[in-house]
Structure 1
Amino acid sequence: MLLISLTGGIGTGKSTAASLLRQRGAHILELDEVARTILDPGTSATWEVGELWPQVVRDGVVDRTALAGIVFNDREALAKLNAITHPRTWQAAERLLERWSAEDRDGVAVIEIAILADSTRRYGSHLNVVLGADTDVRIARLASRGLDAEGAQARIANQRPQSDLVELADAWLDNSGTLNDLASQISALWEDRLAPYARNLVRGVRLTGATRPAERAECERCRERLAHHGVRAAHGADSGELIAVDGPDGPNGASNEAALAAAGFVPGEGCFEVADPAYRLRIR
């Protein structure tokens, strides 16, 4: 199954993009919704939160508004909360993704995640799709949710600037325009990249794809994905080539094949090559 991370700052339209991808047949995992269940009454995470901040837990129920007030402008408190919730959130998410993959091996799963840039899973998916939008558009969208301009600007300022997300993006969608504008971008992304990428992966061979060599940034994202799955690679002399340096059991170990597949690579002629149809990249 092709795994996509969908991210972007507040007010960029992640939920709208996810809905459009669902219409194309993608499975959508809203990580925030999974995270909310981690602090349900009776969970171990709720007990740990109560140990740290007893004032926000009453009768086994977390006062989420009070908790948000504590961690919103306190990085140390937020780090403590994340240490409780993040591992459990990803464990629950992975169980769901495993079930979807078993049921729909050639499908596409999308993880809607608000803060990918600071996550240890930022290169855990086959592809990162990043949404951007002009600041005034984002503020207007947040205003429609009941936030005043000052509150909206504070929320935006509290997140990474959009420019920091560029290096993460395998695909960048500009959602400053209309719903139809975004729908057109989603349609093109699905037809030209996501659907053929999923087919290449499930067949285990790159049957569809462009012939242009990967650009340096594309090589680097692939190298980061390989590292996430335990394979260390160096840039080759050719711009469209990576060299495996080390892996789970050496550069040519058998278990590397599973790691390479998880990073989006399929067997080629005397090498592995990226299944992403947008460009060509080999690893030897």
Structure 2
Amino acid sequence: MLIIGLTGSIGMGKSTTAKMFREAGVPVYDADAAVADLYETGGAAVAPLEAAFPGVTKDGAVDREALRQRVLGNDEAMSRLNAIVHPLVGADRVHFFKDAEAAGADMVVLDIPLLYETGGDANMDAVVVVSAPPEQQRERVLARPGMTAERLDAILSRQMHDAEKRARAHFVVDTSRGLEPAREQVAEIIAVMRDPQKRPGRDKSPA
């Protein structure tokens, strides 16, 4: 079973692209959704995060804004957070792989926002980067409720620059031209990955 990493900076259209893979019949693992489940009431991350960052839970669930305030811009706190959450996400991902194999999937997509930043790309058969021009990216993100330019800049400071991601990617999905062109790019990626003569593979350089 082939493993495709899907990544891209905030506001690039990664979630929409992930949905296109899913609609094409490829199982998609959403790391952000997995984290959200871990943060909900009864989630496995609630107790350890409250122990590490007292006061970040409310009514038995993690208050994501309170947690964000505690770790944003604090490398030590971010490392503690990752040390708690990443192993829990990894365990959840194991179940996803088992379910995909049982369903007979020939490939899966792992939707991981910080794929390159965490070194996860080394475990992928290929990496797809979702991209758009910076001005379009900022317009999309700043239109989100509660988002500010300051917060966006803080988020981007933790992410690898889009140009570097594109340079390292095996495939790039350009979302700046609309949904249908992006969907066509996704279909082409799936076709290439299913062709042993064309797919990049872990031992080949990005195209």
TM-score, with normalisation over the residues of structure 2?
Answer: 0.87
The secondary structure found in structure 2 opposite 1:196 is coil
By how many angstroms is 1:43 displaced?
4.5
By how many angstroms is 1:36 displaced?
1.8
Instruction: Provide the aligned C-alpha RMSD in A.
Output: 2.6
- Residue type at the aligned position of 2:62: V
Instruction: Tell me if the contact between 1:139 and 1:153 (Cα under 8 Å) persists in the aligned partners.
Output: no
The secondary structure found in structure 1 opposite 2:123 is coil
Of 143-152 and 130-139, deviating more is 143-152
Determine the C-alpha separation between the residues in 2 that align with 1:150 and 1:180. Answer: 33
Aligned residue in 1 for 2:45: 45
Aligned residue in 2 for 1:194: 193
Aligned residue in 1 for 2:17: 17
Determine the C-alpha separation between the residues in 1 that align with 2:43 and 2:184. Answer: 42
Q: Which has the higher helix share?
A: 2
Equivalent residue pairs, number: 206
- Residue type at the aligned position of 2:134: T
Sequence identity of aligned pairs in percent? 27
By how many angstroms is 1:141 displaced?
1.1
Do the aligned partners of residues 181 and 98 (structure 1) sit closer, same or farther apart at CA in structure 2, a change above 3 Å counting?
same
Aligned residue in 2 for 1:260: none
Determine the C-alpha separation between the residues in 1 that align with 2:126 and 2:185. Answer: 16
By how many angstroms is 1:149 displaced?
4.2
Determine the C-alpha separation between the residues in 2 that align with 1:44 and 1:9. Answer: 27
Determine the C-alpha separation between the residues in 2 that align with 1:68 and 1:166. Answer: 28
By how many angstroms is 1:59 displaced?
4.8
Determine the C-alpha separation between the residues in 2 that align with 1:133 and 1:181. Answer: 13
Q: Which has the higher contact order (CA 8 A, sep 6+)?
A: 2
- Residue type at the aligned position of 1:116: L
Determine the C-alpha separation between the residues in 2 that align with 1:154 and 1:105. Answer: 38
Determine the C-alpha separation between the residues in 2 that align with 1:60 and 1:122. Answer: 34
Give ranges in structure 2 of 5+ residues lacking alignment.
none
Instruction: Tell me if the contact between 1:28 and 1:111 (Cα under 8 Å) persists in the aligned partners.
Output: yes
User: In the alignment, is residue 176 of structure 1 matched against residue 172 of structure 2?
Assistant: no
Aligned residue in 2 for 1:131: 130
Determine the C-alpha separation between the residues in 1 that align with 2:118 and 2:150. Answer: 27
Determine the C-alpha separation between the residues in 2 that align with 1:110 and 1:94. Answer: 13
Instruction: Tell me if the contact between 2:26 and 2:105 (Cα under 8 Å) persists in the aligned partners.
Output: no
The secondary structure found in structure 2 opposite 1:54 is coil
CA deviations on 1:132-152 (whole Å, 9 max, x unpaired) are 211101011113323344543
Do the aligned partners of residues 44 and 31 (structure 1) sit closer, same or farther apart at CA in structure 2, a change above 3 Å counting?
closer
TM-score, with normalisation over the residues of structure 1?
Answer: 0.65
Aligned residue in 2 for 1:64: 64
